[in-house]
């Protein structure tokens, strides 16, 4: 029998990148659900806070929460699957941004008739989303100002900035309650953390990859004897419910609200850019200018469409980046599956309520692992950034300090106007801006001093000079 001929001119088939890999159905479903569990609390918190401020009934509050889950799923589809030049096509989860909560509460306070508050908010979000969509390609050109020393700093800040969220969850569901921060809640968070760590240490393969999801399930079961697990949301939820368009009224357009939400959009786009750069490093598909522009279009279009279904402004969820970093599952289709679960939860309140059963302390224990993984990824990027250069050490040192101000001193900017505080109270945004500006100052303007090496940030001036004299051929 003749042997098959091999054409020498045949082009080799390119290996599929893990980002574009389609996993088996069961693995896709469980890992996608794990992403939903990681970001659920962040999605439902803004509508619960704003809805309570407006004075919505329990039924209307459930409707608003379901609407935000539904629109988060649509925005995640846009981001992961993409349409035309819209969507980063990375494992990127989108949901309601928490940056808009304070401005939305300000809109509620300034609206005489509370029935008009949500329509005014929705109108402002629509305008901010449209303007952001138009500005996306121009905003994306900032990518050249994000070398590893900047991206590493921002990724580290993302992880550190999320840690207080995990610690808050670990202390209990209600900060005003007498038992907030009690040993019972902290024990549950600790047990969940230990479960996740043990699963990651002593299991392999698929079980190891869904360790966080298993930790949440087991942690919830452990919480039942403590009386912390509440199944009432499941009992009271409807089986089917669609987010009727403009349920709370047609959008209204007010200049002050539009200006305030446009500022939030700029903050959101800044954080999304940083998140895309971070995720690109983690999945080994660096986010270039085109990818960032497409990702920002998905963010802003998702935000513009969201109010149609009674949702708020959408943005990237940094906590899910930690999940990608920890599990090493880089498929965007996994996250798209998670988006499908979000859509189903928006259409089926009873399904959404199942995730709500997971106690906050259990989420807090898992969050320590998730958010810590983001910070660790940032440190890994900084290792490649060239910290043997004293310029880069200064950039990282000052940028981290600026970014940590809202965490370590929450009232630091209390004397600034509320609009300015929207930006200043975001450590990720301020740290990112500081890193970009300092990188330009030290490494670009005037040629920089990249050759100045330092063996340790805290060494004495004499030791530095001696080290340079030995390492320099000319002795300069």
Q: What is the pLDDT of residues 373-424, one digit of tens each?
A: 778 877 887 887 777 778 889 999 999 999 899 888 888 988 887 667 766 7
The CA distance from 59 to 69, in Å, is 16
Cβ atoms of 76 and 338 closer than 8 Å? yes
Helix (H) or strand (E) holding 96: strand 94-96
Strands 314-316 and 94-96: antiparallel
- Which DSSP string corresponds to 80-145? HT-BTTB---SS--EEE-GGGHHHHHHHHHH-SSGGGHHHHHHHHHHHHHHHHHHHHHHHGGGGGG
CA distances from residue 255 to 121, 294, 422 in whole angstroms, order as listed = 11, 28, 17
Question: Which of 93-97, 198-202, 244-248, 356-360 is predicted least confidently?
Answer: 356-360
Query: Among positive and negative, which fits the CA dihedral 198, 202, 203, 205?
Result: positive
Which residue in 56, 128, 96, 100 sits closest to 342, CA to CA?
96
Question: Other C-beta atoms within 10 Å of 239: how many?
Answer: 9
Examine the pLDDT at 121 and tell me if it is beyond 80.
yes
The CA distance from 346 to 63, in Å, is 9
The CA distance from 279 to 281, in Å, is 5
Examine the pLDDT at 45 and tell me if it is beyond 90.
no
Higher pLDDT residue, 13 or 372?
A: 372
Task: Decide: helix, strand or coil at residue 392.
Answer: helix
Cβ atoms of 143 and 295 closer than 8 Å? no
Task: Decide: helix, strand or coil at residue 226.
Answer: helix
Task: Decide: helix, strand or coil at residue 180.
Answer: coil
User: How high is the pLDDT of residue 111?
Assistant: 78
Which residue in 361, 366, 342, 365 sits closest to 352, CA to CA?
342
pLDDT bin (cut points 50, 70, 90) of residue 471 is very low
Cβ atoms of 254 and 111 closer than 8 Å? no
């Amino acid at each position: 029998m003749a042997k098959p001929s091999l054409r020498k001119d045949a082009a080799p088939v390119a290996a599929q990148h893990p980002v574009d890999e389609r996993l088996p159905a069961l693995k896709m479903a469980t890992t996608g659900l794990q992403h939903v569990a990681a970001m659920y609390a962040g999605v439902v918190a803004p509508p619960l806070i704003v809805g309570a401020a407006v004075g919505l009934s329990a039924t209307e509050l459930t409707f608003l929460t379901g609407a935000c889950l539904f629109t988060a799923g649509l925005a995640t589809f846009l981001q992961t699957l993409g349409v035309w030049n819209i969507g980063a096509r990375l494992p990127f989860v989108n949901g309601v941004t928490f940056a808009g909560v304070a401005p939305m509460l300000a809109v509620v306070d300034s609206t005489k008739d509370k029935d008009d508050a949500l329509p005014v908010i929705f109108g402002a979000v629509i305008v901010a989303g449209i303007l952001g969509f138009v500005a996306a390609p121009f905003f994306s050109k900032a990518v050249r100002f994000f070398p590893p020393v900047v991206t590493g700093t921002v990724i580290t800040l993302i992880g550190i900035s999320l840690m207080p969220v995990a610690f808050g969850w670990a202390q209990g569901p209600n900060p005003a309650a007498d038992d907030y921060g009690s040993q019972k809640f902290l024990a549950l968070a600790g047990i969940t953390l230990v479960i996740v760590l043990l699963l990651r240490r002593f299991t392999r393969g698929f079980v190891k990859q869904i360790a966080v999801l298993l930790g949440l399930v087991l942690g919830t079961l452990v919480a039942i004897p403590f009386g912390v697990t509440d199944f009432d949301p499941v009992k009271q939820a409807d089986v089917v419910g669609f987010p009727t368009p403009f349920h709370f009224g047609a959008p209204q357009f007010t200049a002050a609200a539009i200006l305030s939400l446009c500022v939030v959009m700029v903050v959101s786009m800044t954080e999304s850019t940083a998140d895309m750069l971070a995720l690109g490093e983690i999945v080994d598909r660096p986010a270039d200018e085109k990818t960032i522009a497409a990702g920002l279009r998905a963010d802003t279009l998702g935000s513009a469409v969201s109010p149609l279904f009674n949702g708020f402004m959408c943005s990237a969820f940094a906590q899910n980046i930690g999940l990608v970093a920890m599990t090493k599952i880089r498929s965007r289709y996994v996250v798209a599956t998670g988006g499908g679960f979000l859509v189903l939860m928006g259409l089926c309140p009873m399904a959404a309520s199942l995730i709500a059963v997971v106690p906050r302390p259990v989420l807090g224990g898992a969050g320590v692992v998730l958010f810590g993984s983001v910070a660790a990824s940032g440190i890994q990027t900084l290792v490649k950034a060239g910290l043997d250069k004293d310029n880069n050490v200064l950039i990282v040192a000052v940028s981290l300090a600026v970014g940590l101000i809202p965490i370590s001193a929450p009232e630091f900017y209390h004397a600034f106007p509320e609009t300015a505080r929207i930006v200043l109270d975001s450590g990720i945004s301020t740290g990112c801006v500081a890193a970009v500006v300092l990188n330009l100052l030290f490494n670009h303007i005037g040629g920089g001093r990249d050759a100045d090496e330092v063996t340790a940030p805290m060494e004495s001036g004499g030791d530095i000079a001696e080290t340079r004299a030995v390492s320099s051929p000319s002795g300069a």
